[in-house]
Structure 1
Amino acid sequence: MLPADHRLTRPTSFRRAVKAGRRSGARTLVTHLALSEERADGQLVGFVVSKAVGNAVVRNRVKRRLRHAARERLALLPAGALLVVRAQPAAATASYQELVADLDRCLDRSLRTIAVGSGQVEQR
């Protein structure tokens, strides 16, 4: 379970992450990652799973899987990060491993573009 102090619950924070954040998409999900100036001490993660994904049972299963995957990746996010994970309809039939792979791919792309944008380019 995602700890309560890492949950994104305010609609204004969701809007800020979606509008100002770096968008990255995959077959099963889309992520929006933004850095918040007001909250520089931790990371917040929120989830959007619409009725297009499936009935309530399917949506809740997808949310549980995404919460579990996001909890394991909190340490990868920079301080003050606002992450919104939006499930696509394909998430309903995807395995946990597929969801994790898509989340990792999206986070990697978003984190790279944020690092480049802030001047923190990694040397490889």
Structure 2
Amino acid sequence: MLPKESRLTTGDDFRRASRQGRRAGSATLVLHLWVGEPGRGPARVGFVVSKAVGNAVVRNRVRRRLRNLIREHLAVLPVSGVLVIRALPASAEADFASLGADLEHCLRRLVA
């Protein structure tokens, strides 16, 4: 589970990151990173897993895997950054290792 201060909860922040942020994609994920005003707090992360990924069981499994993977990378994200991770339908069949590799690849492209 992500710490409470690292969770993205408002729809406005989801929209802002998706529309104004930088984007990096892979076969299973699309990441949107928007860096806000300094001093707004730690980086926050939100997840979008649509019904196209699968039924509720599959969507929740993908979301749990992504939450577990992103915890290791919270320190890499810029302060006051907003990261939205959108799972693509291919993420339903991806194993934990390939999701982790795709996440790291996209984060390197966004943060670098």
Q: Would you call these one fold, judging by a TM-score over 0.5?
A: yes
Aligned Cα root-mean-square deviation (Å): 1.0
Runs of 4+ in 1 over 4 A off after TM superposition: none
Q: Which sections of structure 2, spanning at least 5 residues, go unmatched?
A: none
Aligned to 1:20: 20
> What SS is found at the alignment partner of 1:45?
strand
Output one character per residue of 1:33-52: Cα deviation in whole Å (capped at 9) or x when no partner.
01011653301000000000
Contact 2:38 2:79 in 1 (8 A): no
Structure with greater Cα Rg: 1
Structure 1 Cα separation of the partners of residues 106 and 100 of structure 2: 10
Structure 1 Cα separation of the partners of residues 111 and 75 of structure 2: 12
Identity %, equivalent residues? 56
CA positional deviation for 1:99? 0.6
Across the two proteins, how many residue pairs are aligned to each other? 112
Structure 1 Cα separation of the partners of residues 54 and 63 of structure 2: 12
Structure 2 Cα separation of the partners of residues 40 and 96 of structure 1: 32
Verify: 1:107 aligned to 2:107, yes or no.
Answer: yes
Give the residue type in structure 2 aligned to 1:43: A
Aligned to 1:71: 71
Aligned to 2:4: 4
TM-score by length of 1: 0.87
